[in-house]
Amino acid sequence: MSDQKAGPEQGLRSPRLWRNGPDARKERVKLIANGLNAVGVTLLAGCLIAPFIDPSRAIGAARLTAGVVIAAALIVAALVVLGYIDREEA
């Protein structure tokens, strides 16, 4: 058996697992930016590429334009979030 004691300092409550330093904050910001970028690129692919692969997925011009605008906004939002890291360091 192990000599370690089971207590609040072990397991999920370990302070080593939940650090809130500047590096952890940067990683959270990167995670948010990557999530926004992934959703934007997926939406863009769904709007522009999917109708060419499967003609039954063809959509009207209004929905196509709305999808492209929303996808572009998500991608730009990801870039703005990544820019937050640079501003935070200065």
**Residues 54-74 pLDDT 10s:** 888 888 899 999 999 999 999
- The answer to whether residue 60 sits within a structural domain is yes
Determine the average pLDDT of the residues in 22-51: 90
- The answer to whether residue 2 sits within a structural domain is no
Token pair for 31: 């995670």
- Kindly give the residue spans of alpha helices, DSSP state H, lying in the chain: 22-48, 50-53, 61-89
pTM: 0.69
State the helix-helix crossing angle for 61-89 and 22-48, rounded to 10 degrees. 160
Q: Cβ distance 75 to 41 under 8 Å?
A: yes
The amino acid occupying position 55 is P
Q: Which residue has the tokens 């996808």?
A: 71
The model's confidence at residue 36, banded by pLDDT at 50, 70 and 90, is very high
- The answer to whether residue 52 sits within a structural domain is yes
Q: Which domain holds residue 52?
A: 20-89
- The answer to whether residue 5 sits within a structural domain is no
The model's confidence at residue 89, banded by pLDDT at 50, 70 and 90, is low
Q: How many structural domains does the chain have?
A: 1
CA angle 40, 46, 50 (to 5 degrees): 155
- The answer to whether residue 4 sits within a structural domain is no
Determine the average pLDDT of the residues in 33-37: 95
